[in-house]
Amino acid sequence: MRYLSTRGHPDRQPFCGILLEGLAPDGGLYLPEHYPQVDAVTLARWRGLPYAELAFEILSLYIDDIPAADLRAICERTYTVEAFGTEAIAPLRKLEDGLYLLGLSNGPTLAFKDMAMQLLGNLFEYELGRRGEELNILGATSGDTGSAAEYAMRGKKGVRVFMTSPHGRMSPFQQAQMFSLQDANIHNLAIRGVFDDCQDIVKAVSGDLEFKRRYRIGTVNSINWARLVAQVVYYFAGYFQATRSDSERVSFAVPSGNFGNICAGHVARQMGLPIDRLVLATNENDVLDEFFRTGVYRVRAAADTHETSSPSMDISKASNFERFVFDLLGRDATRTRALFAEELPRNGRFDLSRDPAFARAGTQFGFSSGKSTHADRLATIRDAWQRLQVMVDTHTADGIRVARQHVQPGVPMIVLETALPVKFAATIVEALGREPERPARFEGLESLPRRVTVLPADAGEVKSYIAAHCA
């Protein structure tokens, strides 16, 4: 399997050639040259496999430069009851007729990002050890990616993490999870701005090829293909739990701001997993919902990015969206480059509404969308608790709210859980008048000493910090 850039760079790389990279040299994102096809015989063989074994089977289709025995060992070391709390790893529960919740938040940091990040940490350590090299990871987080990355990489040999986050814009629990880590290889950089400023910094530093090579800069954001392909696994796991035969179809509702989580669903569907609809749920920052409704992709300035009660989706530039548009346009790298490298930076938007390709987003690729507001998520949290005895976080509530608008008879709708409610306690208290339960290991988290450096929204300042701490 070889990987190409969405913007047409001529190089074709093996998996381990892109594992430690972020963007491609031309600023594009990596995708496989083709999506491996899964037939009915393979689906039948995979049904009932333990999660770690299912992960090995799926990842093996994309990774052919790690010996099978080593890859299997990495999967088995990653997906354990000790790390994720249950044998199922990603357990499915029925909420009501036709509506299900896939539990993805039982990992070390109580968010779905652990599902991929724990694997990524083990892959990084394996490959760096094999090469005898070190890696400096530069990331951006709107809340959960940062803590998941730091918990996955803390203490890992040959790895430093430099994680940017929007200063003061994460929940108190999310901030405490990250900033309380005292490991020498973890560096938290609070950026005076919004998440998109952090993401722009990561892309700017990754785009400086000389700096990137000199300081061995890699990324754990969902622009990293390894993270995205790891997320493909739980779509298959959810499907097998929700169905009895491989002739059945399901739909997935996915809270998504950066388009990484639902992009993994797109990949699973392209592989042949019987997915009917991929329902994208946004909050008030509805850039992606606007595109799927109108064909216009219009990014917002920092001042126009709303600060909401589902803050991990307070994003107006979806960094993974380029992967989907590349597929939507028939893998036309020239057009993709023109849209994302030229038109979007120049105009802050592009319009595919009159392009025949746009209709295929729904008809061929199965996408639908909707948005949820603060009032919506409060009502959904109350309903889930009072009527179903299930407490959900704010982002999952957005997913449930939009999912209910798209349920079809006879097609299970699976909502992907985003995080446990304790990460957004203030809104839970507002909705229910009570604090969410907190795992014992996180008692007193907010009172722990913190290590964090506040910096302006400037890529040069971040590069100077990295250089000073890699001497």
Q: Which residue numbers are catalytic?
A: 113
∠ at Cα 206 (181, 27), nearest 5°? 140
Q: How many CA atoms lie within 13 A of 306 on its CB side?
A: 14
Structure tokens at 84: 């994720």
How does DSSP assign 306-355, residue by residue?
Answer: ---SSGGG--SS-TTHHHHHHHHTTS-HHHHHIIIIIIHHHHSEEE-TTS
DSSP letter at 95 equals E
How does DSSP assign 158-171, residue by residue?
Answer: TEEEEEEEETT-S-
Nearest to 373 by CA among 302, 283, 463: 283
Q: Can you tell me the distance from the alpha carbon of 428 to that of 124, in angstroms, rounded to the nearest whole number?
A: 36
Per DSSP, helices labelled H in 389-424 are 394-404
Question: According to the 3-state scheme, what is the secondary structure of 357-375?
Answer: HHHHHHHCCCEEEEECCHH
H or E stretch including 198?
helix 195-207
The residue type of 420 is: L
∠ at Cα 30 (25, 31), nearest 5°? 150
Residue 204: Cβ within 10 Å count: 15
Nearest to 28 by CA among 6, 4, 3: 6
